[in-house]
Amino acid sequence: MGKLLSSPKLLVIAIAAVAALLVSVAGGALGASFGLGFLGGPIPFISIPAERVAFIGSYPLLNSTIMFWVGGLVLLFVAWRAGRNVKDVPSGWQNLMEMIYEFFSNTVDGVAGGEPKSGRRFLALVSTIFLVVMIINWVGILPGVGSIGRIETIEEWVHHHVEDLEAEVHEEHPDYSPKQVHSIALIHLLEEHGDDTFVAFDGVFVWLGQGEQARVPLRHIVTFEDHELHDLADEVKHGEDISHDPVWERIEHDIHEGVVKEVFTYDLGGPSQTPYDFKGQTAGLLVPYLRGASTDVNTTLAIAIVAMLTVQIWGFRALGVRGYGGKFLVNPISQGPIATFVGVLEGFGELTRTISFTFRLFGNMFAGEILLIAMAFLLPLIGIIPFMGLELFVGVIQAYIFAMLTLVFGVMAVASHGDHDSHAEEH
């Protein structure tokens, strides 16, 4: 404390830190309860599927795919700098790459039995998985990823979802005309997602200050009654034309307009607060332009599939089709039914490993993303700083776990099944 008082620099820093803490507490979710909350933003709609931000032709480009490519380009740049002019006396990028490479070279050799070069067949994939997962985790927590985006209007939102549903309806009722399919899909969508909430915002600016509370259910934007939808669905099923039905026209109009129709008030709490009325405000969803690739199940599943398929390839190459296949398909007559059952379980094990790979990485990184969002909401300005560091750490740890598990599964696959069995046969 004496040191703090004697050094003006430290004192200024301490005062600034305390001030930042006070501002962030007052401006965040806590302050919002007392009429402050001036720094609050809406919690982005937490969507497990990655959002599409554009179409290339008919190909929907997801925000997570963009970040996968960004991470890949960063990695390729480093690799190109490191590998374009390798020298015996390394420098710069080559040093970095060599360090990582040697670390994994030693690790794979250690896990694969300790002989030099015994783990070389695993090296390329294991280090690629580590580098790729680490880089997509890290670029995924850059500021701006997941927080900068555009507002998807209700019309766009409905359009995308109806498109997906149309395919399902068409499969169920192939005899429906396209118009019927569209109508049924829209009715299904409204029935299922009537209680989904959207952010209400005024003009181009998102209505700030109330965070997650500033959400309006779909029913208050597109007004309908459940029985109206039932009636419409029946009419469509009987082949009637509903395009001039007043209820249908109202629904289509509401979707197109995309504003809060019914009075939807929210009591903000606190003695001096008046309920906030959202009526007439535009509603929509915040669609981030960028999203960490590892917060999309497609990415983690793709890497898990590559890893587990490669593990099978290693197994078949090391033990042959009979040797490796014999781990899973055991003859119940000569080996006994229990061994057969164990073999089938092992086969399922390969499948569950793929799934656990997928959701371990996805779960950790998605939770990290939500953690950052929540901290930005609770303590704006400073709340996310320690958690950014934590996420960097989690990102590299998850990458390491993914790579190491791939290595361990690979080593297990190439080890001949039950060494004691073969020894017993020899004796």
Partner 1 sequence: MEALGITLQQLLTQLVSFLILFFLLYKLAYGPIMGMLDSRAQKIKESLEAAETARLEAASSAERVEAEIAQARVEGQKIVAEARDAASKLREQEQDRAREEVETMLERARTEIGREKDSAVEEVRKEFANLAITAAERIVERSLDAKSHSSLIDKVLEEGLSERKN
Q: Which is nearer to partner 1, 116 or 178 (CB)?
A: 116
83 binds partner 1 (CB under 8 A): yes
Choose one: 10-18, 128-136, 252-260, 387-395; the region binding partner 1 (CB under 8 A). 128-136
**Smallest separation, CB 132 to partner 1 (Å):** 6
Min CB(92)–partner 1 separation in Å: 13
Q: Minimum CB separation from partner 1 for residue 260, in Å? A: 27
If binding is defined by CB under 8 A, does position 297 make contact with partner 1?
Answer: yes
State the DSSP code for 259: B
Q: Which of 247, 306, 339, 370 binds partner 1 (CB under 8 A)?
A: 306
Residue among 69, 103, 341, 393 that touches partner 1 (CB under 8 A): 69
- Residue from 45, 68, 122, 278 binding partner 1 (CB under 8 A): 68
Residues 160-199 that bind partner 1 (CB under 8 A): 164
In the complex, the smallest distance separating the C-beta of residue 83 from partner 1, rounded to whole angstroms, is: 4
Shortest distance in whole angstroms from residue 168 CB to partner 1: 9
Contacts of 283 (CB under 8 A, 6+ apart): 154, 198, 199, 200, 201, 216, 221, 258, 259, 260
Distance between CA atoms of 69 and 81, rounded to whole angstroms?
18
Q: Tell me whether strands 52-56 and 215-217 are parallel, antiparallel or unpaired.
A: unpaired
Residue placing its CB nearer to partner 1 in the complex, 296 or 369: 296
Binding segment toward partner 1, per CB under 8 A, in 126-134, 145-153, 175-183, 392-400: 126-134
Residue by residue, DSSP assigns 61-115 as EEHHHHHHHHHHHHHHHHHHHHHTT--SS--THHHHHHHHHHHHHHHHHHHTTSS
Which one, 224 or 366, has the nearer CB to partner 1? 366
Q: What burial letters (b/e) apply to 150-185, b meaning 16+ CB within 10 Å? A: ebbbbeebbeebbeebbeebbeeeeebeeebbbbbb
* Three-state SS sequence of 153-205: EHHHHHHHHHHHHHHHHHHHCCCCCHHHHHHHHHHHHHHHHCCCEEEEEECCE
User: In the complex with partner 1, which residue's Cβ is closer, 297 or 414?
Assistant: 297
Quote the strand ranges of 275-375, DSSP E. Answer: 276-277, 282-288
Name the token pair of 92. 């710069």
Give the residue, chosen from 3, 87, 238, 244, that forms a contact with partner 1 under the rule CB under 8 A.
Answer: 87
CB of 71 to partner 1, least distance (A): 9
Asked if 398 and 137 count as a contact pair (C-beta separation under 8 A), the reply is yes
Q: What is the CA radius of gyration of the chain?
A: 28
Binding positions for partner 1, rule: CB under 8 A:
47-50, 59-60, 62, 65, 68-69, 72, 75-76, 78-80, 82-84, 86-88, 94, 97-98, 101-102, 105, 123-125, 127-128, 131-132, 164, 293, 296-299, 301-303, 305-306
